[in-house]
Amino acid sequence: MAREVSIRSIVAPGLSILFMCALIELGAGKVFEEMQGYFTTLLPGLIVMIPPLLGLRGNINGALASRLGTALNAGLIEPRLTLSAEIKVNLTSSLILSIIASAIIGVFAFGVNLLTSAPTIGVLELMVKLIAIAVFAGFLSGLILALLTVFVAVKSYARGWDPDNITSPTMATIGDFVTIACIYLAVLLVV
């Protein structure tokens, strides 16, 4: 019989981490709330893009974190903060995916908005603005978070921690906050 699974041994460590994550998510929520004027009056359709942009960021970074963890554990990447060929390939791929997928989100959000509500600004203007915001926010948050992911993965491995256990949860939580902040910045620049 393998070791017993007690409820307490699952709850106790999970609870403190979850509470920390929840507090950071509250910060992301506060930025989101600050933007409400843009959603309700200034740029209808913008809100449609928020869940996909957040989800995309999590998926691209999660995969990056997972590949880096594997590569570090397998010895394919040296645990040093230098732009080796392997790290460059991983960063480039993440950024290319960020740009293409963010542009797709912009197009889809425009489509959803066109089908479901009467546009308050010109159709072309709305399309350009939504795509510009998605690509700018997707690229900027992608760049910041991909570099942070490399940093966290390499540093945790260098310290003797398994990057598989550290990188994904850390980046998932920081990711939402950084992405919402980048969307807000993009909105301020574009609208």
Site residues, another protein (CB under 8 A): 2, 5-7, 10-11, 14-15, 17-19, 21-22, 24-26, 28-30, 32-33, 35-36, 39-41, 44-45, 47-52, 54-56, 58-60, 62-63, 67, 71, 76, 85-86, 89-90, 92-93, 96-97, 100-101, 104-105, 108-109, 112-113, 116-117, 169, 172-173, 176, 180
* DSSP state string for 110-176: HHHHHHHS--SS-HHHHHHHHHHHHHHHHHHHHHHHHHHHHHHHHHHHHTT--HHHHHHHHHHHHHH
Instruction: Write down the least CB distance from residue 99 to another protein, Å.
Output: 11
Instruction: Write down the least CB distance from residue 78 to another protein, Å.
Output: 13
Instruction: Write down the least CB distance from residue 180 to another protein, Å.
Output: 7
Half-sphere exposure of 50 (CA within 13 A, CB side): 21
Instruction: Write down the least CB distance from residue 57 to another protein, Å.
Output: 11
Instruction: Write down the least CB distance from residue 35 to another protein, Å.
Output: 7
Q: Which is nearer to another protein, 117 or 147 (CB)?
A: 117
Task: Return d(Cα 123, Cα 138) in angstroms, integer.
Answer: 22
Burial class (CB in 10 A: 0-12, 13-18, 19+), 62: middle
Task: Return d(Cα 180, Cα 152) in angstroms, integer.
Answer: 21
Q: Which is nearer to another protein, 172 or 191 (CB)?
A: 172
Q: Which is nearer to another protein, 29 or 79 (CB)?
A: 29
Structure tokens given for 27: 């910060």
Nearest to 105 by CA among 48, 60, 182: 48
